[in-house]
Structure 1
Amino acid sequence: MISASNDSSEPATARAYHALERMIVTLELPPGSFVTEGALIDRLGLGRTPVREAIQRLAWEGLLEVRPRAGIAVAPLHAGDWLRVIDARRGVEMVLARSAARFVTREAADRFHDAALSMQKAVLAGDVFAFLAADKAMDEALALAADNIFAARVAAPLQTHSRRFWFRYRAQTGLADSAAHHVALIQSILDGDEDAAAADADRLMDLLRGLAEDAATR
């Protein structure tokens, strides 16, 4: 059994979701593999209801597929699809960045500071898993700051898909460059500069698209 979350105050369904999402992103649940609901319950050490709800959410996001009588399939990874994810993500990321710069609160600012610090520490340590966690924290801070649940709901699954592709194809290179782009975006948001924040989000997507293009041609 693995620990679903270090935050015991988090609702069980959220703990199950975050744990399963992490297992999918880091390929602990391999792309194209099959698993049963019972096996996931045993691994997470959580009840059937929160695990089932987490599975349903991840299925809606395109990361799992529930197949009656066959089990639960983990979405396959095709390098060319990373380009499609980035192209779909670009516009909504710019919307979120611009809105975050306009509406950022003290709570969101504190989360951005923590995410930036964690990302920089991960780079210094060469810790890919810590970097992924910091990236996730930044995305959550962005959703909070933007105050646009509709854009955030569109962005969240695309961000998760992108992290999984990044982990599969480019996790061992470019941590510092990626962190620099993220920190620049955070700074523009905290400065309240909507145009700069949108431009930084666009540049971050350019960086990721370049990585995706390299992966697609391998």
Structure 2
Amino acid sequence: MTSDTLELQDIDKRRQADQAYDAIETLIATLQLRPGAPVVESELIARIGLGRTPTREALMRLVANGLIAQLPRRGLLVSDILIAEHLDLLEARRVLERLIACCSARRATPAQRSALMACALQMAGAAERQDLETYMRVDQVLDRVNHAASRNRFAVAAVLPMIIQCRRFWFAYRHHGDVAEGARCHQRLAEAIAGGDGEAAARASDALIDHLRVFAQQVIE
């Protein structure tokens, strides 16, 4: 077996692990796996249609990111939504998102700038139709493009657990939210990054977090 073949197999394994991670994260974020529910590996494998190895790797990442709790004698459970800590989470996320946006404005490739704009337009269309499933899916894609464009893996690794928690919080309490305004915030962010304007990207990132903070305060109050 050649080194090229081995490298392709490794890439495929990582791809399957990423697919498993995305599938399980979506189940948790959309409350198909509810807070406190036990996580049964065999049931997940059957549900997402991927193998044991990528599923286990995905579960380990979800434990590290705080969406799944590993408890002695109780196994794996979906973690609770911590409403009281959510505003603190958003303030920490604000700093990282601003950094990522500025990096992306400087470093994004032309293809990534186009992809961000395409995602923003799709989110606007989904918001207009009140298609929350598509809105969330495209939001996830926009985040991935933004993170790749930033080329700052340390900031991305730090912010990812926060984004996942925010996504689940939003879905759980979405009846309080203004999806159209959320789409507009994402569009302004995409436009600033696509235009290579770091200062505008930082302002747009802060505006998005401000929007999420208002939403969270409405839930808490």
TM-score in terms of structure 2 length: 0.90
**Equivalent pair of 1:37/1:71 in contact (CA under 8 Å):** no
Partner of residue 107 from structure 2, selected from 103, 109, 112 = 103
Q: Distance in 2 between matches of 1:191 and 1:113?
A: 10
**Equivalent pair of 1:111/1:137 in contact (CA under 8 Å):** no
Match of 2:56 in 1: 52
1:182 aligns with 2:175: no
Q: Distance in 2 between matches of 1:81 and 1:164?
A: 14
Shift of 1:66: 2.4
Q: Could you list the runs of 5+ residues in structure 1 that have no partner in the other structure?
A: 1-7
1:62 aligns with 2:66: yes
**Equivalent pair of 1:93/1:201 in contact (CA under 8 Å):** yes
Shift of 1:88: 1.3
Q: Distance in 2 between matches of 1:9 and 1:21?
A: 18
Q: Which residue identity does 1:40 align to in structure 2?
A: L
Match of 2:203 in 1: 199
Shift of 1:216: 1.4
Alignment root-mean-square deviation, CA: 1.7
Shift of 1:90: 0.3
Q: Distance in 2 between matches of 1:24 and 1:125?
A: 24
Partner of residue 214 from structure 1, selected from 203, 213, 218 = 218
Match of 1:79 in 2: 83
The 3 A distance-change label for structure 1 pair 97 and 171 is: farther
In structure 1, the residue corresponding to 2:135 is in which secondary structure? helix
The aligned runs of 1:20-169 (5 Å cut-off) are 20-169=24-173
Superimposed CA distance per residue, residues 63-107 of structure 1 (whole angstroms, 9 cap, x where no aligned partner):
001235423100111322221221110000000111111111022
Superimposed CA distance per residue, residues 100-122 of structure 1 (whole angstroms, 9 cap, x where no aligned partner):
11111022113202211220121
Give the number of equivalent residue pairs. 210
Shift of 1:23: 0.5
Q: Distance in 2 between matches of 1:199 and 1:110?
A: 20
Q: Could you list the runs of 5+ residues in structure 2 that have no partner in the other structure?
A: 1-11
Q: Distance in 2 between matches of 1:57 and 1:9?
A: 15
**Equivalent pair of 1:80/1:212 in contact (CA under 8 Å):** no
Q: Which residue identity does 2:151 align to in structure 1?
A: D
Q: Distance in 2 between matches of 1:74 and 1:52?
A: 15
In structure 2, the residue corresponding to 1:176 is in which secondary structure? helix
Q: Distance in 2 between matches of 1:154 and 1:52?
A: 22
Higher mean alpha-carbon deviation, 182-191 vs 115-124, is at: 115-124
The 3 A distance-change label for structure 1 pair 171 and 61 is: farther
The 3 A distance-change label for structure 1 pair 54 and 171 is: farther
Match of 2:3 in 1: none
Query: Going by fraction, where is helix more abundant, 1 or 2?
Result: 2
Higher Rg of the two aligned structures = 2
